[in-house]
Amino acid sequence: MATTYVHKCYQCTDKCYQCTDKCYQFTDKCYQCTDKCYQFTDKCYQCTDKCYQCTDKCYQCTDKCYQCTDKCYQCTDNCYQCTDNWYQCIDKCYQCTSILKKKFHYKFHDKPPQSMTEASVLWETPGRLIRELKQP
């Protein structure tokens, strides 16, 4: 795939992207830099093409950084507060759910299932899988 370069370089903190050589290797993109890294604001980080698309409450990038994949990450409402809130994984795109608040992790693959019996429901606790329900 063709390598895409951005025209700017950004300064980063210790918790942001770590520089290897003078580029950031994402999936199919490389961001050109001199000797600096990406600067993250109190809002969110948007990179080119199909990387990050955020709302105001998504991706507070002051403390954390997120790696681009070949898919885009779209979040709404209070996404990615991973301490207590769980999220749906749909074809490598993460979308918040405001309905499911229990500690269930629904592993959706090609498309969201029409019912819970169509999904592989994982009920997880720290370090251990309690039970798994699958479609009969």
Residue with tokens 């994982």: 122
Considering the domain boundaries, does residue 3 fall inside one?
Answer: no
Token pair in block for residue 50: 């199909």
Considering the domain boundaries, does residue 22 fall inside one?
Answer: yes
Considering the domain boundaries, does residue 75 fall inside one?
Answer: yes
Q: Could you give the number of structural domains in the chain? A: 1
Task: Tell me what pLDDT residue 58 has.
Answer: 37
Task: Tell me what pLDDT residue 70 has.
Answer: 32
What are the backbone dihedrals phi and psi of residue 73, each rounded to the nearest 5 degrees, phi first?
-105, 115
Task: Tell me what pLDDT residue 88 has.
Answer: 40
Contact (CB, 8 A) for 73 and 51: yes
Could you tell me how far CA 7 lies from the centroid of its own chain?
A: 24
pTM above 0.75, yes or no: no
Considering the domain boundaries, does residue 24 fall inside one?
Answer: yes
In three-state secondary structure terms, 98 is coil
In three-state secondary structure terms, 68 is coil
Task: Tell me what pLDDT residue 1 has.
Answer: 37
Task: Tell me what pLDDT residue 31 has.
Answer: 41
Domain assignment of residue 40, given as a range? 9-134
Task: Compute the distance between CA of residue 35 and CA of residue 22 in angstroms, rounded to an integer.
Answer: 6
Contact (CB, 8 A) for 4 and 29: yes
In the chain, which residues have pLDDT < 70?
1-136
Considering the domain boundaries, does residue 2 fall inside one?
Answer: no
